[in-house]
Amino acid sequence: MTDVVLDRPLYWQDVVAVADGAALSLSEGAQARIAGARAIVEAIVARGIRAYGVNTGVGALCDVIVDTAHQRTLSRNLLMSHACGIGAPLGARETRAIMAAAINNYAHGHSGIRPEVVEGLVALLAGGVVPEVPARGSVGYLTHMAHIALVLIGEGRARIGDETLSGAEALARIGRAPLVLEAKEGLSLVNGTPCGSGLGAVALARAARFVAWADATAALTFEALGGQIAAFDPESLALLRSPGIRETGDALRRLLDGSPALAASAGRRTQDALSLRAVPQVHGAARDVFETTGNTLDRELASVTDNPAVAGTPEEPKVFSEAHAVSASLGLALDSLGVAVAEIAAMSERRLDRLVNPLVSGLPAFLAEDGGASSGFMIAQYAALALVGENRRLAAPASLDAGVTSALQEDHLVHSTPAALKALTILDNAEQILAIELLAAAQASEIAGFGGARGTESVYERVRAEIGPYRDDRPLSDDLARAAALIRGTLAPQG
């Protein structure tokens, strides 16, 4: 895995690389920008220039002046009061992604926290320290980063491997002492959009893997059901102007090239059901959404999202009280990402239904060897349908939730972090729906007995290397979980 040196703004793929374990370091230029911004904050403090969260309270307390003697207390108290997350903690991948996005934000040189604070976050990543961050309880930012920042001051909890430690113990384990935060540092540590950006990058990486598996699974089903390959003709698909449809069509043709089964079924029907012939259109549209989401993430990572932002020089400091942390574009993009993933999964369930329904498949009912004593994939299709319904409910836009917080001071919210978390939950469901279709398609290919294309044979062999045919001889849920892990890329070796 290639290490990431932060000099220019990170791309979303860089964030994912760090989330997956790549080392992150700061270039000399990034370190200089961070130090330069800190000098501006120190000038603001020394000269008593009014600046939100530096020498004032926050939220509805923005007009309450905080004198120099209490600015350290303000920074520390912000972490304590904002660390109010709820529920099970995020995984290590998600937490590391947020930390990488936060470090990226500080490296722009407009936040004003000391270099040693940023270096502390880099050290946590390098030492495999994963702060314990409850997943729920954020309308956009604040709580997740507060739990991460607690570890920097020796508070909170963190995991190193399978061990859970106090923040102080975790710091000691990597040879670092707790920090005492100075003016503005508490606010900068909880502010901005690293939560939505980091989680969104992880969701987009999973979505890209998911759609590739969706192509492969759809091709396996298409072949088992004897689809009409003319639907994927490149000249025909080119009539719809979409980079995504072109990419999907190319993938399907590669997977199905030379299929004896499709050669035998050619011309048997005028056209297939939409869940078969519209795979390029649906998967392609989703790919186009993913591309837009990636561009939005990259713009967000290239932007300063801390409030306030500092600029100018120590001699002529500037402070901008802005609203960049609202992250409307990010919330809208991540809502779209979730809908696109849910759409692919909904189509997968419709293909699954055709595989198990003897009225349209020509295969044994529910792909069972003994249609009387065995139920095969009958109830697995029920499970897929249930998850499609759950995704439909989850796909309601978080960005329209709005709400009012902080005594009317923060009276419009876009909920980018909840949109990212929601997209991750939709992906959990979608991967499982696709896993059910994948196993059913492998079973149908065996029953149909047609020769497969080299591409689909490779998919089939990948499945069968991990999961055998199903004969009502074991709980099906174990197979489904293993297939979902295969799609997700987290499959553990069999013991």
- pLDDT at residue 495 in the model: 46
C-alpha 433: how far from chain center? 18
The full length of the chain comes to 495
pLDDT value at residue 372: 74
**What integer pLDDT is reported at residue 139 of this predicted model?**
67
pLDDT at 401: 66
Q: Please, are residues 256 and 232 in contact by the beta-carbon 8 Å criterion? A: yes
Domains, the chain, ordered by start: 4-191 (1.10.275.10), 200-488 (1.20.200.10)
DSSP state of 177: P
| Per-residue model confidence (pLDDT) at position 55 | 80
Query: CA distances (Å), 196 to each of 31, 138, 276, 301, in order?
Result: 24, 10, 35, 10
For Cα atoms 36, 39, 41, give the angle at the middle one, nearest 5 degrees: 115
- Model pLDDT for residues 179-189, shown as the tens digit of each residue: 999 999 999 99
β-pair partners for 26? 6
Residue 358: how many other CB atoms lie within 10 Å: 12
The pLDDT score that the predictor gives to residue 406 is 53
Alpha helices, H only, 2-58: 12-19, 28-47
Cα atoms in the 13 Å half-sphere on the side-chain side of 278: 13
Q: Are 90 and 425 in contact (CB under 8 A)?
A: no
What is the tens place of the pLDDT at every residue in 335-393? Answer: 999 999 999 999 999 999 999 999 999 899 899 987 678 899 999 999 999 999 999 99
| 52 a catalytic residue | yes
Enumerate residue ranges in the chain where pLDDT < 50. Answer: 407-408, 495
> Which pLDDT does position 408 carry in this prediction?
47
The secondary structure of the chain in percent helix, strand, coil, rounded to multiples of 5, reads 60, 5, 35
Distance (Å) of CA 162 to CA 18, 90, 128, 158, 165: 19, 14, 11, 10, 10
pTM above 0.85, yes or no: yes
